[in-house]
Amino acid sequence: MTQSEMIAKKCESLEHHVADVIPILVEFLRQEVEKSGFGRVVFGLSGGIDSAVVAYLAVAAFGRDRVHPIIMPYKTSSKSSVADAKEVLAALDLPLTMVDISPQIDTYFGLQEDATALRKGNKMARERMSIIYDQSAKLKALPLGTSNKTELLLGYGTQFGDLASALNPIGDLYKTQIRRLARLLSVPLSIIEKPPSADLWEDQTDESDFGFTYEEADVMLHMLIDERLSPEEVIERGFEASVVESIMRRIRQNQFKRRMPIIAKLSSRTIGIDFRYSRDWGM
Amino acid sequence: MKSIRVALGQVRPKLGDIRTNADKLLDFIHRAKLDHADVIVFPELSLTGYLLRDLVFDVARRLDDPVIATIVGASTDIDIVFSFVEETDDHLFYTSSVYASKGRVIHVHRKVYLPTYGLFEEGRHFAKGNNIESFACGSHRAGIAICEDAWHPSVPYLLSVAGMDILYIPSAGPGRALSGDPHSGSQQFWERLIRTYAQLYTCYVVFVNRVGFEDGLFFFGHSAVAGPDGELLCVMDSHDEDMHIVTLDLSRIRTERYRSPLLRDEDVYLTHRILGRLVEERQ
């Protein structure tokens, strides 16, 4: 078996039980939103596959009237992203809410002329988060996360930006599993088939940023995380050492994004260390 | 021997809210009585919720606590199996399941095996029970194993030697939808487990698992009953809060134990002798 055949076979097995998760995720959204006392959900709709899947799940859980997606383009955002986001709204019969984030981003970076593309991208992600949380208060709607397991593990997101949410229905699904889920939910094919992109600058794609494909990443991540194989064992199965090492480095280097801020322990009961309650306690 | 009607009370407790949960149990008990059930069985920690963490300290109740007395008091016309955090006189905290009948506690089982691995942290909060015994319920004998207790074959074995006809397994089993076949990996495991125990110990096995979500954990329900030939008599094919009543024909135990005299032929002396030697060799 060639390596690409092995990856295809592994991806197929990853996608195997994805249909079973739909009723679980729909019920998860319903129960968690009910517990919070909000009754509605709000999230950013980018035109990409992840937020589209969240939109479909949210409508399945709440119907169209309690689901509030927001399209938040910057002036350089790809026109096709906005068009794809609008297609999701049309398919689900959801109203259009659009907030152009260009004025506030440009005002800030007008005073920061040396800013790199990465700084700008992170600032945009946090601007969008800030708008979602403001709308959350206005609409009494719980902010939904749209980061998948591949992104969360590789740290491909902005801390307190797109990684921020109250509730993430898709955070335990790899990108290839999201693609299967999208097909099962009848997300428009143009969205499923286009190359994933953070759309922070022109012609950016996730896979060119990584240097490997999502299929490769998911198969290796599944081996490393779910099957608990060592990097050496993954390499022995025919994967390139440099790629496996780059994935391991990304997982470790981005651990900080997956945790709340750490607190210096001084007292006998310290938040997050020995003051331990489930979030449900406060619901 | 006669038949008994067992109600499976597949509830969704609210974390830490004893008042609300007690009202729910009383409502289920009332409905089960109207349906002429002889006994109603609730899941593990049905009075408190599962992922308690530091809430254990607050929700613990003594056996003579008014809330416990109220539920025990509701057992005048129907037997009740329910579970809560029990605090003893010496302030040890147990995951306990009570069998109440005719307004009295006739048996308390304290969970022996406290899973403390992966997503579980019971050993951090609870004391370990140190007894396994069956008890008389009118014309038959019953035994209780709480969730993880049933993953240790010694527990049903000892109960079987102690004369158990019905094994009650109150559970708070979380699902892992992507880890196994048709349904969740654990769900399938539970079905296999209760069928195997029922067949090997020629008894009825009543598995009652909770539903709902707690901090992302999905409790999969699918409460089920297996008969003494190992066949499933009922599976609640649902993740929802619900109640089912199953009639257990106790004369089938007689037939099955004549046809398949595993219990008669079980050599407890041999087991005792060899186990004693093995334990001695370990020390």
Give tens-digit pLDDT for B109-147: 999 999 999 999 999 999 999 999 999 998 899 999 999
Interface ipTM: 0.91
The per-residue pLDDT for B237 is 86
Do residues B203 and B160 lie in contact, with contact meaning Cβ atoms separated by under 8 Å?
yes
Pairing of strands B166-171, B204-209: parallel
Q: How many CB pairs under 8 A join A and B?
A: 53
Strand blocks (E) in chain A: 40-44, 67-70, 141-143
B174: amino acid identity, one letter:
P
Task: Give chain B positions within 8 Å (CB) of A169.
Answer: none
Give the mean pLDDT of chain B. 95
Does the pLDDT value for residue B183 go beyond 60? Answer: no
Touching check for A197 and chain B: CB below 8 Å?
no
Could you read off the pLDDT of B47-97 as tens digits, one per residue?
Answer: 999 999 999 999 999 999 999 999 999 999 999 999 999 999 999 999 999
Whether residue B33 has pLDDT greater than 90: yes
The average confidence (pLDDT) of chain A is 94
Predicted TM-score (pTM) of this structure:
0.94
Answer whether B53 touches A (CB < 8 Å): yes
DSSP states of chain B as a string?
A: --EEEEEEEE--PPTT-HHHHHHHHHHHHHHHHHTT-SEEE--TTTTT-S--GGGHHHH-B-TTSHHHHHHHHGGGSSEEEEEEEEE-TT--EEEEEEEEETTEEEEEEE------STT--HHHH-PPP-----EEETTEEEEE--GGGGGSTHHHHHHHHTT-SEEEEEE-PBP-TTSSSSS-HHHHHHHHHHHHHHHHTTSEEEEEE-EEEETTEEEE---EEE-TTS-EEEE---SS-EEEEEEEETHHHHHHHHHS-HHHH--HHHHHHHHHHHHHHH-
> How far apart are alpha carbons B218 and A204 in whole angstroms?
37
Contact residues, B window 171-230, toward A, CB-based 8 Å cutoff = 175, 177-178, 180-184, 212-216, 218
Contact criterion met (CB < 8 Å) for A283 and B15 = yes
Q: Strand pairing partners for B243?
A: B9
Is the pLDDT at B182 greater than 60, yes or no?
no
DSSP secondary structure string, A203-216? T--HHHHHTS-HHH
- The encoded tokens of residue A18 equal 């994805």
Question: Cβ contacts (< 8 Å) between A283 and chain B: which residues?
Answer: 15
Secondary structure letter of residue A41 according to DSSP:
E
Q: Which residue does chain B place closest to A174, by CA atoms?
A: B178
Contacts of A21 in chain B (CB under 8 A): 177-178
Chain B nearest C-alpha distance from A115 (Å): 38
Residue A146 assigned as binding residue: yes
Instruction: Determine the residue among B15, B17, B181, B184 to mutate to test chain A binding: the one whose Cβ has the most chain A Cβ atoms within 10 Å.
Output: B15
